Amino acid sequence: MKPLTAETSERDRAGRPVDPTILNRMEIDLKALDHNFRLVRKIVGPGVRIHPSVKSGAYGLAISDVAQRFAALGAEAISCGSYEDARTVRDAGLTDTDVVVFGTILPSGIPAYLDLNLIPTVHNMELAEAVSSCTTRPARVYVKVDAGLGRLGFPIRTAEAAILKIARMPNVVVEGIYTHLPFSDADGARWAQERTALFDALIDRLRRGGLSVPVTQARSSPGVIFGINDSCNSVAPGGALYGKPPLANDLADFSAFRPVLSAIRSRLIHISPDAADRTPGMFGRYAHRVTGATGVIPFGRKDGNDAARSGHTSFAIVKGVKAPVLAVSSEQSVLDLSNVPDPKLGDDVTILGRDGELEVTLPDLARWRETGMNDVLLMMSGRMPQVIRQ
């Protein structure tokens, strides 16, 4: 990795060189974000709005930089999962960009949303009444319909009457109506298509009844990549834009997308050349016999790391060689360096990303830990410097 200088495009989130005493770092590739956004634009075709999701702090991937990039790419709105994320987007200088907040609000919080010129999601009648009563000017809202997921929103069987009632409220402008139908397998895709058809029928009934809503949306990343059919004029992809596969390889081809999280790296802080046949007491017996050296990196549970589950072995890459992870503690991890030629203090260790011909991917980390890719990302969120590649 080249050093951070004023001449390079690598920087932390505040634009400063990364502190050399902090040995873990997350590398974020905004050119990959550009590429993925343009792919989605090509998939959905002309005339369809893209409202990229930056929920959960853009999945822990530099929300300010990411939101700015989406706006520069021509996103018609930014979708946030919380007031905190929406405020961060505004603080990043996107004062005129439409910012839709998915939920996570009580009626008493509505004034704060409107003061920041955010578009709140109304998913119950109490929120709609709060919008109507706390402003004297027209306030735009999105209405959430529960088309079958069973989380937030007006149930689709009663949504038509609820939306018409909201649209008649003083000072409330129904700017958009959306639903959320995530899935991960073929059965889920069939379910999502059936429920999307019901949502389309709801929008059609509202239009025939005289309520024309500017923005309608049913597809998120799985629906976009799989090709769910709808009559909506907007999509709100999240994971796909970050290069995070939303579906199994046998369900959709995701090979053209690029990971925005290009690497997570650490450095060797200790090497034990005589580790062969040793049984470290605090970790118990290693899962396999160590025939050479071990090494330590300062990347532990506090940094979002976790041990592989039973039946799996996780790996890091050192000098182009796979190094099994032997143990993970609160502050550090121990690696088997038996096959690494002449390891030295300070050598780079690739926890995620490519080194030579080898690569560790986000799906690899999730599989080894038997968890989801979002869980892996969110565990590491905010725990190390972020090197932004422009």
**267-286, pLDDT tens digit by residue?**
999 999 876 555 554 455 55
- Give the CB-side neighbour count of residue 367, counting CA atoms within 13 A: 11
In angstroms, how far is the first alpha carbon of the chain from the final one?
15
Answer yes or no: do 326 and 226 share one domain.
no
Query: Closest by alpha carbon to 105, among 97, 90, 89, 116?
Result: 116
In a domain, 189, yes or no: yes
The CATH number that applies at residue 205 is 3.20.20.10
Total of domains in the chain: 2
Q: What is the mean pLDDT of residues 201-210?
A: 96
Query: Closest by alpha carbon to 218, among 168, 253, 257, 183?
Result: 183
The whole-angstrom separation of Cα 163 and Cα 145 is: 9
State the residue range of the domain holding 330: 261-389
In a domain, 254, yes or no: no
At 50, list the tokens: 């893209």
The pLDDT tens digits for 324-372 are 999 899 999 999 999 999 999 999 999 999 999 999 999 999 999 999 9
Give the pLDDT of residue 274: 74
The pLDDT tens digits for 96-107 are 999 999 988 999
Give the pLDDT of residue 21: 80
Q: Which amino acid is at 52?
A: P
Give the pLDDT of residue 22: 82
- If you average pLDDT over every residue of the chain, what do you get? 91
DSSP 307: P
Answer yes or no: do 221 and 74 share one domain.
yes
Give the pLDDT of residue 13: 46
Helix, strand, or coil (residue 333): strand
At 317, list the tokens: 């890459």
Give the pLDDT of residue 248: 87
The pLDDT tens digits for 75-84 are 999 999 999 9
Give the pLDDT of residue 7: 36
Answer yes or no: do 57 and 152 share one domain.
yes
Answer yes or no: do 113 and 230 share one domain.
yes
Answer yes or no: do 276 and 233 share one domain.
no
DSSP 114: H
The whole-angstrom separation of Cα 140 and Cα 138 is: 7
**Residue 141 main-chain phi, psi, to 5 deg:** -135, 155
The whole-angstrom separation of Cα 388 and Cα 13 is: 7
Answer yes or no: do 313 and 196 share one domain.
no
Give the pLDDT of residue 183: 96
Answer yes or no: do 227 and 112 share one domain.
yes
In a domain, 101, yes or no: yes
